[in-house]
Each structure stands twice: as structure tokens, then as C-alpha cells.
């Protein structure tokens, strides 16, 4: 990433920037060369940043009114909904914002999978991204416990009981997590503390994620490296800023559609029942964005096996840059990979659907098939595709879409050279 | 080999989808259609009917409050905008009917006083255990957010209230258990609460079962979502605003991006073209266009 | 030639976008700020009704209102006369006793010393009225500062007699 050193105009600015290069950083971010062929699937990074900030702001405000005590938590949220000025708005924004955050992150991840953004030299972007995703899931899980409704209590009980499956130390770990013999006040308090902390860890990792991105620069839909001197990039500001802003607004429209007109649609009615350790709900389900993992967990017959496979399903994603051995980046030029990609998408959606169903009959069989496919896709199919797939011919650059079609300049050169035999380069 | 595998997968896919679709059609949990009704608060412009809310309060007070608490409501909520909007005096006199334990006073003693607007609604029982014991081991749930706590929301509550039926043949019911068409599992420990004329409405409306069910459901929906009207109103303003902003941002974006086809940019491309054209023409004199 | 018109049209569009955007941002920020204002449950406690029927002359009732102590004193004739006789020139914070009461028999004041906020003790001090032990401020039978570091008289809150036995404060 070679850039000329930025020299600020005013003396004061130079004094400041030479000591704390914020102005240089700002200059880098505005001038950052972005491939000019990016499509709208590349706007989700900006959307995710917006939602991270929105969740932090609404979350800190809610924390001004929420009480983390098992006797008072549910009531404190009703207090927010009823008494705090605009409390209902801030609470609904935070709850639905969480869903939007995950919707955006899944689109963002699947964009990466399709266009090969996980491939060298972008492995660290992929890995920091996965750590962010893991932190997001932990944050969301702990956040969902805070209202201390029936689903809060029982989903947390189920998940924390999973650790009991670990041989030898399982029981101790579970008791350590709970701070007691079951989910209770100590658990609620520590979840509150960590739920407040993790988003700032996410923020730090996002900084690393973007830093790692700015080293090689963005990937693009055809997966061919851009050449900076061939007019193939544009400055981030104002082009990408405006494009990201537009995409953000559309997504916010959808988000506010939920907040104002269907604020409880993505939630579960049982969480409006105060937690009762003596009454288990008929169907315990996590929030929709955790359903695929829930389905994998229940698909495996053994308790420990389910836990292992559930964590493995995320861990193998870490290995993806080394499992996907194809030299071709983008699925645009990988016809077979493209097909398997869509199969994977459907399987993951299927797993989400099954995660909400009772683990009986046909649902169990399908969950096992889908889980099997998921692992086969990453562990077997991708490495094989890398070795044997016949990819489509690649263009030389993002300006020349296909190798066969010569550009006008090249055509002139070719014909002229044929005609005389003289060195074509002299034309320049 | 991979292509054959791919074809196999497509076939498996198809079979799987067919199974799912057919499976959903006859799942074990039978899809129960709730009793239909028009609710004034439904839809993006929904609002509450004040009169219905006031009648619904009366039904709650006279029929339900004997067993069901509604502890997150305060008497002042009856006056606030977006709700039944009783007058200050009406709400005050409602509150005064109920007593609350206060204290200790300067002598160190607890005492009872009439409730004020700032107090919460009175609970029929001092705690959950008393409530459960007094109702045959079944706790009458608090109604503050009951509408949001049930699948089907207000349609479910309305249907349940009107859904008491004779148990079908072979259905054994214990003492104190009743058959309800809409209760999951069909067994409910609340006896039918609404009978024709159970309440004499203050506004003179005839208190049929369906009327009372509708009014109390409306009241309970408001109790669960007291800011519903404000939410709808704000939502409308927000959407109009966003559409305007979206349009402006869209055209701004187009305007900014049109700089890429600006004079400078096309000038550059023109220059290169001209250069090549000139060079070739000089060399041959032939029309460069024939090269195409 | 076309560039000038172009830029005018273009800058109008951008100005409009910025303006609408700023309005949106402001409208979004307002709820985030307003949520810290007193909520409706706190505001409902902004008035307190006190039954004063049992207070005898010469006795003070102290109640909490908005978290602050309120002195409600039923004054004796002696105290009322003493308060009325005081020459305004002798007062650190000149104020007529009749301006501090609606009914001279009833003195309703916020019991917080105007110096640094301690709660003065009743029946003490040079005027046998109120004395603040923290830094030695003396208040008279009308609650006015007479001696000591306090700059102002004890504050009179908004109140009214709902009926002969009930005062509504706030």
C-alpha cells in the first residue's frame, strides 16, 4: 500500500499531524482506492458499522435504566417500556437492531464466501471477522438473558448445561459459569457486565478487521487484483461514502419497519412471561440468528457430540482459507463452486428452519442431512473443487471483462503491427 | 465425477423440499384459526377506541381483577394520552376505591391509605403463592403484558374468552378443569369468565359475551402496549421522512458518480483514442474505422 | 457555460440533502437525550398531598417532597407577630413575612440551608426558630436568614391548600 506522504496545509495542522497522525489517517481513509466494479453486496461493511454503533448507543442508554437483579430485571424493562421517555422506542430499537445486525453479518459473510474474499492474501480479514462473529453471538446470547423472561432463563439454562457435557471438568465449569447450582442472580449480573464489555471488544476487532483489509485493499466481484495505475480504482470519498450511505438508508428503512410496525415479530412471546425455574416452556428456542447452530447441536445424538459439532461448525470456517484450495477467487468464474455455494446457502436456511422445530421425526433426519452436508461441503467438496474444478477463463484486469475481446487500443496496435511490422510501442 | 455428484445433490434437494412442504401441511400441531374480528388498533394506522378501552377497564375491574393482577399499570395510566383517557377526577376516584399499605409512620407503624394516581393497580393477592393456592394450584397470570406473551396475541385472548365448549366425547376432565378450544392442550383451569350481562356498562352498551370479550381484549392490548398510538404516529412521520431523504441521497449519489463520466475523464479517453487514430492514419491514410 | 448551471443545481441538491439529513440526525438524537429527563413515574410523584389536620400550633411537620425535606409549621401568634415586626433593613435577604405565607398561621418551606445544603435544626438558634449546625446560619420565625453564611432565606415551594386540612406541595 504505497502512498505519497500527506502534508497538511496549515502550520497548526502540520504540528498536530506530525505528533498524532489523525489527519493523515483521515486522508488515507478518504483517498483509499476502492475497486470501481464493486456491487451493492460490498455496502454491508458500512451497514454493520452503523448497527454496531446503534447497538452501543441504545445499549448504554438502556443500561441507565435497567436493573440486573432477578427480582427486578423484568420489572425494570417494563419500567423502560412504560415510563422512560421514548423508552419503548430505544428498547425496540435495541432488540430489533440485534436482528438486523445479524442479518447484515450473514449477508456480509456469504458475500465473502461467494467472491472468495477469504482467500489469500485476505486470510486475516476472514479470521478477525470470525472472531467478531463469535463475540457477536456471545453478546447476543447474554443480552437475551437480561430481560429474565421464560425464554431468557431456559435458553440460557440449556446452553450453559451444554458445558456439563465436557468430561471430567464439565460440572465444575458449569457451576463456575453460573456462580451457583443453577442459573440465578450471580449469572445475571456477570452476563450484564460482559454484555456491556463485549461490544467494545468487537469495536477493537473491527478496527483490526478494517486495518487488515486496507493492506491488500478490497476484493471485487471478479476476484482479479486491481491495478492502481490503470484507473481501476476510485477514492473512497465521495463515491463509496455516498453509495454506502444509500445502502445504509435502505437497510435502516427495513429496520425501522420492524421497530415501528412489527416490533415483536422476530421475538418469542414466551419472553414476556417472567422467568419461572419450575415451569419449562413447551419449545425452547434461541433467537432466529442462532437457530442453525441450535439445529446442528440437536442433530447429533450424543450431548457431547452435539456440543463438539456445534463449535466445530464455526471452527472449520477458520480453516476455510486453507480448505478452499482453488486458485480462482470469485465464484463468477467457478461454475461448479457456484452450484455448491447455493446448496450451502439453502442448507443453512434449512438448518435455521429446523432449529425452530421440535426435534422429532422427519425434522431430525433432515437436520442430520443438512449438518452432514455442511461439514462435507467445507471438508471434502471445497478441497476437491480446488484440485479438479475446471474454471472459466479469467480476464486480465477488471477493465477488460474477458480475455478474448481485445480492447480498441490493442486492436489498433495489432492491425497496425500486421500492416508494417514496425514496433507498435512507438505509437504511444 | 463432481458433475454427477452435483446432479445427485440436486435430486436430493428436490426430494427434501417436497418432504418439507408436505410435512408442514400436516404437522402435529394443528393450525387453529382464531375467531375473526376487526381490531381498531391493527394495521399501520391503528388506534385504540377510547370508549372500548373504558368499557374494557370496567370488565377487567369487575370480572378479572378478582384473580388477575395487572401490576405494571398505574392509575395515572388511565388518564394518559393513548389510553382510555379517563378524566383526572374519574381516575382519582377509581384509585381511591383501593387501599395500599404505606409507612412506617413516625410512630414506626405501617398504615393503609387510599391509592393515588401515582400508585400501581391493586393486586388481588399479596404474592404468587397465595394466588396459586386460591386458584386450585393454577396461577392466574398477571395481565400487564399477557397479550404479548401469547402466540396469536389479541386474537388468541379474544378467541380463548369465547372458546369454552363442551368437551368432545372421550375427553376426561378433572374437577376444576374446563375444556377450551383455543387453549394449547385444550385444558384450562379458569372457568368461563364472561356471561351475558355480567357487567352493566357505564355507557349503556349492551354487555353481550362478544362485546365484553372485545372490550376487555382491547383494554388488555392497550395495557401491554400503552404507547401503540404514539409508535404508529411516529412511524408514519419517520417513513415519510426516510423516503424523502432516500430520494435526495439517491440523486446525490447519482450526481456524485456522474463525475466519473465528466469532461476530464472522457477527455482522457478521447485523447488516447485520438492519438492512436492519428498515428495509424498517418501511417496508412486509410480510414481507421475500417479496422473495427 | 453549462458547468456553472450544473454546479448550482448540483449544490442545491447537496444542500437539500445535508439539511434533511441534519434534521433527521437531530430528530434521532432528541429521544436519546430526552430519555434522561424525569420519566413519567418520577413526574407523577412531583406533587405530594399532606394532611395537616393534626398539627397543633407551635409544631412542625417534616415531610419528603421530591426527595427533599419540607418544614410545615403551624405558627403561634407570638411567632407570627415577631416575624411581621422585623424591619426589612435588618434582613440579609429582605423579604416580607406576608410574602412568604398564604396563610400566616402556616409556614411551608424547603428545609435545606441555602448555604451548602444541610438540613437546619428546628427550635434552635438565636431566634428560637431554625439553626444550621454545619456553618452556623440562624433563621428566624419566618425562615429568613438573619446571621451566618447563608445568602438567602429558606425557599418557599409551590403549594396550595386543597382544603382546610390538606396542603398539596408541588
Q: What is the ipTM of this complex?
A: 0.89
**Low pLDDT (below 50) residues in chain C:** 1-2
Closest CA to B6 of A299, A334, A349: A334
Q: Is B245 on the interface with C (CB under 8 A)?
A: yes
Which helix (H) or strand (E) segment is B272 a member of? helix B263-284
Q: Is the pLDDT of residue A428 over 60?
A: no
**Record: contact C35-A61, CB cut-off 8 A:** yes
How far is residue B56 CA from its own chain's centroid?
19
**Residue A177, φ and ψ in degrees, nearest 5:** -65, -45
Q: What is the pLDDT of residues A285-327, one digit of tens each?
A: 999 999 999 999 999 998 899 999 999 999 999 999 999 999 9
Parallel, antiparallel, or unpaired: how do β-strands B187-188 and C159-163 relate? unpaired
pLDDT at residue A32, as a whole number: 94
pLDDT at residue A67, as a whole number: 98
C chain contacts of residue A64, beta-carbon cutoff 8 Å: 35-36
What is the dihedral angle through the alpha carbons of B41, B46, B52, B58, rounded to the nearest 10 degrees? 50
- CA dist., res. A279 & res. A271, Å (int): 13
> How far apart, in Å, are the Cα atoms of A316 and each of A289, A312, A347?
19, 6, 16
Instruction: Supply the mean pLDDT for chain B.
Output: 87
Closest CA to C93 of C170, C157, C156, C160: C156
- CA dist., res. B119 & res. B113, Å (int): 11
Query: Looking up cell 365484553, which residue turns up?
Result: B212
**A:23-42 residues touching chain B, CB 8 A cutoff:** 36
**Record: contact C32-A90, CB cut-off 8 A:** yes
- CA dist., res. A54 & res. A45, Å (int): 14
Rg (CA), chain C: 26
The chains found to touch C (3+ Cβ pairs under 8 angstroms) are A, B
Which residue in C31, C34, C40 is closest to A83 by CB distance?
A: C40
Residue C108, C-alpha cell as written in the block: 411551608
pLDDT at residue A220, as a whole number: 95
Measured from the Cβ of residue C119, the count of other Cβ atoms closer than 10 Å reads: 17
Q: For residues B138 and B189, is the Cβ–Cβ distance under 8 A?
A: yes
- CA dist., res. C131 & res. C113, Å (int): 9
SS3 for B164?
strand
Residues with Cβ < 8 Å from B204, sequence gap 6 or more? none
Parallel, antiparallel, or unpaired: how do β-strands B99-102 and B111-114 relate? antiparallel
Mean pLDDT of A181-195: 97
- CA dist., res. B205 & res. B208, Å (int): 9
Task: Using pLDDT thresholds of 50, 70 and 90, give the confidence band for residue A403.
Answer: very low
pLDDT at residue B261, as a whole number: 76
Task: Using pLDDT thresholds of 50, 70 and 90, give the confidence band for residue A146.
Answer: very high
Rg (CA), chain A: 26
**Residues of C belonging to the active site:** 135
Q: For residues A84 and A95, is the Cβ–Cβ distance under 8 A?
A: no
Q: Which residue of C has its CA nearest to B117?
A: C44
pLDDT at residue B27, as a whole number: 45
Strand partners, B111: B102
How far is residue C69 CA from its own chain's centroid?
11
Q: Is A285 on the interface with B (CB under 8 A)?
A: no
SS3 for C33?
helix
Residue B206, C-alpha cell as written in the block: 349492551
Q: Is the pLDDT of residue B128 over 60?
A: yes
Q: Is A215 exposed, middle or buried (0-12, 13-18, 19+ CB in 10 A)?
A: exposed
pLDDT at residue A407, as a whole number: 55
Strand partners, A235: A33
The Cα of C30 is separated from the nearest Cα of chain B by a number of Å equal to 13
pLDDT at residue A1, as a whole number: 46
CA angle B279, B280, B284 (to 5 degrees): 120
Q: For residues B115 and B98, is the Cβ–Cβ distance under 8 A?
A: yes
**Residue B19, φ and ψ in degrees, nearest 5:** -60, -45
- CA dist., res. C10 & res. A203, Å (int): 36
- Percent of chain B surpassing pLDDT 90: 70
Q: What is the pLDDT of residues A20-66, one digit of tens each?
A: 999 999 999 999 999 999 999 999 999 999 999 999 999 999 999 99
pLDDT at residue B265, as a whole number: 58
pLDDT at residue B25, as a whole number: 42
**Residue C107, φ and ψ in degrees, nearest 5:** -110, 120
Query: Looking up cell 421517555, which residue turns up?
Result: A85
Q: Is the pLDDT of residue B84 over 70?
A: yes
Domains of chain A (ranges; CATH) run: 32-284 (1.20.810.10)
**Record: contact A412-B291, CB cut-off 8 A:** yes
Q: What is the pLDDT of residues B256-280, one digit of tens each?
A: 999 887 655 555 555 555 666 666 5
- CA dist., res. A358 & res. A285, Å (int): 9
- CA dist., res. A177 & res. A188, Å (int): 10
Q: What is the pLDDT of residues C72-96, one digit of tens each?
A: 999 999 999 989 988 899 899 999 9
Which residue in C32, C37, C39 is closest to A61 by CB distance?
A: C32
Mean pLDDT of A174-187: 95
Q: For residues C145 and C137, is the Cβ–Cβ distance under 8 A?
A: yes
Measured from the Cβ of residue B96, the count of other Cβ atoms closer than 10 Å reads: 14
Which residue in A246, A252, A339 is closest to B250 by CB distance?
A: A246
Mean pLDDT of B208-229: 97
pLDDT at residue B281, as a whole number: 60
Residues with Cβ < 8 Å from C97, sequence gap 6 or more? C80, C83, C84, C86, C104, C142, C144
Q: For residues A247 and A46, is the Cβ–Cβ distance under 8 A?
A: yes
The Cα of B113 is separated from the nearest Cα of chain A by a number of Å equal to 24
Q: Is the pLDDT of residue B290 over 90?
A: no
- CA dist., res. B213 & res. A306, Å (int): 47
pLDDT at residue A399, as a whole number: 78
Q: For residues B88 and B44, is the Cβ–Cβ distance under 8 A?
A: no
What is the dihedral angle through the alpha carbons of B214, B217, B219, B224, rounded to the nearest 10 degrees? -160
SS3 for B179?
strand
B chain contacts of residue C45, beta-carbon cutoff 8 Å: 118
Which one is predicted more confidently, A262 or B11? Answer: A262
Q: Is B76 on the interface with C (CB under 8 A)?
A: yes
Amino acid at each position: 500500500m504505497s502512498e505519497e506522504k500527506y502534508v497538511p496545509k496549515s502550520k497548526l495542522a502540520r504540528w498536530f499531524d506530525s505528533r498524532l497522525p489523525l489527519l493523515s489517517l483521515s486522508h488515507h481513509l478518504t483517498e483509499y482506492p476502492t475497486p470501481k466494479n464493486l456491487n451493492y453486496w460490498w455496502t454491508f461493511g458500512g451497514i454493520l458499522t452503523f448497527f454496531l454503533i446503534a447497538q452501543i448507543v441504545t445499549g448504554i442508554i438502556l443500561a441507565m435504566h435497567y436493573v440486573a437483579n432477578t427480582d427486578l430485571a423484568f420489572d425494570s424493562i417494563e419500567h423502560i417500556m412504560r415510563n422512560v421517555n421514548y423508552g419503548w422506542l430505544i428498547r425496540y430499537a435495541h432488540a430489533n437492531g440485534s436482528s438486523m445486525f445479524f442479518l447484515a453479518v450473514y449477508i456480509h459473510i456469504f458475500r465473502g464466501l461467494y467472491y472468495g474474499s477469504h482467500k489469500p492474501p485476505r486470510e486475516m480479514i476472514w479470521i478477525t471477522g470470525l472472531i467478531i462473529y463469535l463475540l457477536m453471538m456471545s453478546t447476543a446470547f447474554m443480552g437475551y438473558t437480561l430481560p429474565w423472561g421464560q425464554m431468557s432463563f431456559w435458553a440460557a439454562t440449556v446452553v450453559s448445561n451444554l458445558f456439563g457435557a465436557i468430561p471430567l471438568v464439565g460440572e465444575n465449569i458449569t457451576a463456575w459459569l453460573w456462580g451457583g447450582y443453577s442459573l440465578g442472580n450471580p449469572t445475571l449480573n456477570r452476563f450484564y457486565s460482559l454484555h456491556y464489555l463485549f461490544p467494545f471488544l468487537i469495536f477493537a476487532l473491527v478496527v483490526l478487521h478494517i486495518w487488515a483489509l486496507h493492506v491488500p485493499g478490497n476484493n471485487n466481484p471478479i476476484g482479479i487484483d486491481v491495478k492502481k495505475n490503470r484507473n481501476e480504482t476510485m477514492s473512497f470519498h465521495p463515491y463509496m461514502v455516498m453509495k454506502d450511505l444509500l445502502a445504509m438508508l435502505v437497510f435502516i428503512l427495513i429496520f425501522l419497519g420492524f421497530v415501528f410496525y412489527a416490533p415483536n415479530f422476530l421475538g418469542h412471546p414466551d419472553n414476556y412471561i417472567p422467568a419461572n425455574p419450575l415451569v419449562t416452556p413447551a419449545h425452547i428456542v434461541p433467537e432466529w440468528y442462532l437457530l442453525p447452530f441450535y439445529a446442528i447441536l440437536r442433530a447429533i445424538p450424543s450431548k457431547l457430540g452435539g456440543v463438539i459439532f456445534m463449535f466445530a461448525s464455526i471452527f472449520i470456517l477458520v480453516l476455510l482459507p486453507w480448505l478452499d484450495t482453488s486458485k480462482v477467487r470469485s465464484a463468477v468464474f467457478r461454475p461448479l463452486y457456484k452450484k455448491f455455494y447455493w446448496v450451502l446457502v439453502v442448507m443453512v436456511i434449512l438448518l435455521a428452519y429446523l432449529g425452530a422445530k421440535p426435534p422429532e421425526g422427519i425434522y431430525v433426519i433432515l437436520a442430520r442431512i443438512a449438518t452432514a452436508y455442511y461439514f462435507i461441503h467445507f471438508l471434502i467438496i471445497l478441497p476437491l473443487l480446488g484440485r479438479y474444478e475446471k474454471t472459466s477463463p479469467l480476464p486480465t484486469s477488471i477493465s477488460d471483462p474477458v480475455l478474448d475481446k481485445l480492447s480498441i487500443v490493442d486492436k489498433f496496435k495489432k492491425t497496425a503491427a500486421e500492416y508494417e511490422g514496425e514496433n507498435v510501442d512507438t505509437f504511444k | 465425477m463432481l458433475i454427477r455428484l452435483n446432479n445427485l445433490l440436486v435430486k436430493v434437494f428436490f426430494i427434501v423440499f417436497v418432504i418439507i412442504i408436505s410435512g408442514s401441511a400436516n404437522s402435529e400441531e394443528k393450525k387453529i384459526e382464531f375467531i375473526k374480528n376487526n381490531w381498531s388498533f391493527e394495521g399501520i394506522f391503528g388506534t385504540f377506541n377510547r370508549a372500548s378501552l373504558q368499557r374494557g377497564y370496567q370488565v377487567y375491574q369487575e370480572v378479572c381483577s378478582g384473580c388477575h393482577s395487572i401490576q405494571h399499570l398505574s392509575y395515572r395510566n388511565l388518564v394518559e394520552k393513548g389510553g382510555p383517557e379517563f378524566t383526572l377526577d374519574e381516575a382519582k376516584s377509581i384509585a381511591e376505591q383501593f387501599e395500599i399499605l404505606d409507612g412506617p409512620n413516625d410512630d414506626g407503624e405501617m398504615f393503609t391509605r387510599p391509592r393515588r394516581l401515582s400508585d400501581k393497580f391493586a393486586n388481588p393477592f399479596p404474592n404468587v403463592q397465595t394466588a396459586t393456592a386460591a386458584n386450585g394450584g393454577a396461577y392466574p397470570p398477571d395481565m400487564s403484558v399477557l397479550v404479548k406473551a401469547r402466540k396469536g396475541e389479541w386474537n388468541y385472548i379474544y378467541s380463548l374468552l369465547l372458546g369454552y365448549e363442551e368437551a368432545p366425547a372421550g375427553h376426561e376432565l378433572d374437577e376444576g378443569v374446563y375444556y377450551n378450544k383455543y387453549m394449547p392442550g385444550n385444558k384450562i383451569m379458569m372457568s368461563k369468565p364472561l356471561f351475558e350481562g355480567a357487567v352493566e356498562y357505564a355507557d349503556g352498551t349492551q354487555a353481550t359475551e362478544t362485546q365484553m370479550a372485545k372490550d376487555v381484549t382491547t383494554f388488555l392490548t392497550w395495557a401491554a402496549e400503552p404507547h401503540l398510538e404514539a409508535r404508529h404516529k411516529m412511524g408514519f412521520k419517520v417513513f415519510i421522512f426516510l423516503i424523502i431523504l432516500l430520494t435526495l441521497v439517491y440523486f446525490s449519489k447519482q450526481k456524485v458518480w456522474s463525475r466519473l463520466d465528466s469532461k476530464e475523464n472522457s477527455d482522457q479517453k478521447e485523447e488516447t483514442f485520438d492519438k492512436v487514430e492519428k498515428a495509424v492514419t498517418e501511417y496508412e491514410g486509410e480510414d481507421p474505422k475500417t479496422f473495427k | 457555460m453549462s458547468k456553472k448551471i450544473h454546479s448550482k443545481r448540483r449544490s442545491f441538491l447537496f444542500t437539500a440533502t445535508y439539511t434533511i439529513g441534519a434534521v433527521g440526525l437531530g430528530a434521532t438524537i432528541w429521544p436519546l437525550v430526552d430519555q434522561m429527563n424525569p420519566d413519567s413515574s418520577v413526574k407523577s410523584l412531583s406533587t405530594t398531598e399532606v394532611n395537616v389536620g393534626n398539627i397543633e400550633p407551635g409544631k412542625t411537620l417534616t415531610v419528603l417532597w421530591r426527595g427533599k425535606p419540607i418544614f410545615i409549621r403551624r405558627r403561634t401568634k407570638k411567632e407570627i407577630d415577631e416575624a411581621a415586626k422585623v424591619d426589612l433593613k435588618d434582613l440579609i435577604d429582605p423579604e416580607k413575612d406576608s410574602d412568604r405565607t398564604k396563610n400566616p398561621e402556616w409556614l411551608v418551606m424547603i428545609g435545606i440551608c441555602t448555604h451548602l445544603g444541610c438540613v437546619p435544626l428546628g427550635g434552635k438558634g438565636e431566634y428560637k426558630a431554625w439553626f444550621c449546625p454545619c456553618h452556623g446560619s440562624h433563621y428566624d420565625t419566618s425562615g429568613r436568614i438573619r446571621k451566618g453564611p447563608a445568602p438567602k432565606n429558606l425557599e418557599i415551594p409551590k403549594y396550595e391548600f386543597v382544603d382546610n386540612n390538606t396542603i398539596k406541595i408541588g
